[in-house]
Amino acid sequence: MFKQTRAIIGLVLIIVLLATNILTLSNSRTHDLLYGFIARLPFSSLKKNSPTSRHKKLLKENTLIKKDVSSLKQKNIKLSKGVNKAKQLSRVISKRTFRNVSKNIAAIPAEAVPYIGVGTMLAVTAMDIKDACDTMKDMDNLLIALGVAENSDETVKICGKQIPQSDYVVSQLKVKQQAYAEMQENMSEFLNEVKKNSADKWGVFYESVGGTMYFIINEQD
């Protein structure tokens, strides 16, 4: 009787173990339930190398890899935008530089005309300042697109430059011309005075030397 009971119990245990193994492999809820039960046991070695532990570790690593990939994609998109912005900026600056060179060459004859050329010079300078301001703004936008800088204070300084009015420049030019003419006149008078004084001193010197030589010659005779 005892042997029959033990045989029945052993058969039931075998059936339970087989059923548990089958359910563990085929049913995720059963697997998680048994893993949770084992995880509560004070034996960490029982779950250290279990498929579930490995699976969770792989999921964690996969999540980190996905975050890195997403971050790299965002950086690549940002860098691609920066490269496109740089290409566009290069074309704009090239055209602007060519326009500035052509503009300055064409303005040379007009700038050479006295007084009238002042207005042309101021107009060209104003356009140069505007172009420089636009170039600085483009550079700031490029740096912002690349994520390496913010708006520069130098841009504000350049864009805030003001040129004087034409009337003011002409009046200052006349004042300086008058001052230059007076300085030139004073210099001319000074040189004439120096020349005159030098001539008088050399004349006295020659007369003195000549009289001395005459006296010496007469004494010898």
pLDDT in tens, 176-194: 777 777 777 777 777 777 6
Which has more confidence, 30 or 47?
30
- Per-residue pLDDT band for 221 (boundaries 50, 70, 90) equals very low
Residues 156-162, mean pLDDT to the nearest whole number: 71
Domain count along the chain: 2
Residues 7-26, mean pLDDT to the nearest whole number: 69
Burial of 58-83, coded b for 16+ CB within 10 Å and e otherwise, reads eeeeeeeeeeeeeeeeeeeeeeeebe
Q: Which of 48-52, 98-102, 115-119, 217-221 has the highest mean pLDDT?
A: 98-102
- Domain assignment present for residue 166? The answer is yes
The string of pLDDT tens digits covering residues 32-77 is: 666 666 666 555 555 555 666 666 777 788 788 888 888 787 777 7
Q: How many CB atoms lie within 10 A of CB 47?
A: 15
Q: Is the pTM of this model over 0.75?
A: no
Q: Which of 140, 132, 121 is nearest to 159 (CA)?
A: 132
- Domain assignment present for residue 209? The answer is no
Which has more confidence, 105 or 125?
125
For residues 176 and 106, state if they share a domain: yes
What pLDDT was estimated at residue 214? Answer: 44
For residues 114 and 34, state if they share a domain: no
Neighbouring residues of 107: CB distance < 8 A, sequence distance ≥ 6: 120, 121, 124
**Quick one: CA dihedral 23, 24, 27, 30, positive or negative?**
positive
For residues 120 and 20, state if they share a domain: no
The radius of gyration computed from the CA coordinates of the chain, to the nearest angstrom, equals 50
For residues 44 and 84, state if they share a domain: no
For residues 169 and 88, state if they share a domain: yes
- Per-residue pLDDT band for 211 (boundaries 50, 70, 90) equals very low
- Domain assignment present for residue 73? The answer is no
- Domain assignment present for residue 64? The answer is no
For residues 41 and 82, state if they share a domain: no
What pLDDT was estimated at residue 132? Answer: 80
CB 47 within 8 A of CB 35: yes
For residues 38 and 88, state if they share a domain: no
Q: Which of 43-57, 131-145, 149-163, 206-220 has the highest mean pLDDT?
A: 131-145
- Note down the domain range covering 127: 78-189
